[in-house]
Structure 1
Amino acid sequence: MSRRLTVIIDELLDREGGYVDHADDKGGATMYGITEQVARLHGWDGKMQYMPKTLAVQIYKDQYWSAPNFDRVAMINQRIAEELLDTGVNMGVAVAAKMLQRSLNALNSQESYYADMLVDGIVGNTTLGALKHYLDRRQHHGEDVLMKALNCLQGARYITISEARERNESFLYGWLHHRIHL
């Protein structure tokens, strides 16, 4: 694992914290932000509070970085990839990928940079090509604008899910405080 990815995952582990079993969290108990369901899929059969940090790191690397191709996004733009990882951990990697695709389509100046893509939640060659074209075209401000678009979509989703399920209000302040960056 690269030194940079190690730092990114360590920061993510700090944000997620250790063992949590909040009554309002429909996902149940977590350790380092990993749900019991995900831990079981990766072979953990013990109590969640004893899941080792090394397993959490491996899960983040495999399921939330490499599998959704966020590692390939990092080859184009590290900051965008880190945002996708963070969003993917908190909302699901397909949701994060769809936010990227929607943002790139909307920032495409009526398809003058590249053809709009299908918003399918899969970061493949089309999404990666669009990201590269967008950043090449928009230069240094493009990254900032795309980050704002991703954070706007993420914040709107947090509010929507809190409106839909009152118990999610227990988490809204923290989500907005720790996950949305200006």
Structure 2
Amino acid sequence: MIDELIDAVIDREGGYVRHPADRGGATRYGITEAVARANGFVGDMRQFARPAAVAIYRRAYWQQPGLDRVATRAPQLAAELFDTGVNMGPATAVTFLQRALNALNRGASDYPDVPLDGRVGPATLAALDRFLATRGAAAQAVLIKAIDSLQGERYLSLAEQRPADEVFLYGWLAQRVG
């Protein structure tokens, strides 16, 4: 599963990009220069290799945030969280999940609220398990809709707060349609 998700992100993000309005600076395969450097890359971003990008996506955006554990329970949800994490950071994606779980637990009557710590730990997994068991077949789709909603609101806020980001807003939203 993760191999296909990584390939899709790399295909979508493309090769080397340095957009003047992008505060993230130079990217290659969707990996920012800062992330590449934090993972040991020292060269020109035009030379950043695809296998290095794949390794970073697998480790920093799938395994470290615990999305591999979400995938065993709700694979489409894990895919959504991976995509959100690539665009906004894994901790933001997981926090969106935690917020949705807390808001959907009927006043903590289905399961206790989970801390908004941006990590998939035992409390988040227990809440997810209970949510999926309690809410049935549509549960995964409802969580995905909630996460998409939070993501869309964040994109709109970014464009409102920084007009230079308006150039990216349509693309951010268009990639998430469907």
Shift of 1:15: 1.6
How far 1:14 sits from its partner (Å)? 1.2
Structure 1, residues 55-106: CA drift from partner, whole Å, max 9, x if none?
Answer: 0000000110001111111111111111111111110111101100000001
Gaps of 5+ in 2: none
2:144 is the counterpart of 1:121: no
1:142-157 alignment, distance < 5 Å: 142-157=139-154
User: TM-score if structure 2 supplies the norm length?
Assistant: 0.97
Counting matched residue pairs gives: 178
- Which residue in 2 is equivalent to 1:81? 78
Question: Is the Cα–Cα contact under 8 Å of residues 68 and 93 in structure 1 kept in the other structure?
Answer: yes
Gaps of 5+ in 1: none
* Distance (whole Å) between structure 2 residues aligned to residue 12 and residue 132 of structure 1: 28
Query: How far has the Cα of 1:181 moved from its partner?
Result: 3.6
Say whether residues 1:25 and 2:22 are aligned partners: yes
Query: TM-score, structure 1 length as denominator?
Result: 0.95
Residue correspondence of structure 1 range 33-182 to structure 2 within 5 A: 33-178=30-175, 180-182=176-178
Letter in 1 for 2:79: E
3-state DSSP of counterpart to 1:76: coil
Aligned Cα root-mean-square deviation (Å): 0.9
CA distance in 2 between counterparts of 1:30 and 1:177 reads: 20
CA shift, 1:7, in A, is 1.0
Runs of 4+ in 1 over 2 A off after TM superposition: none
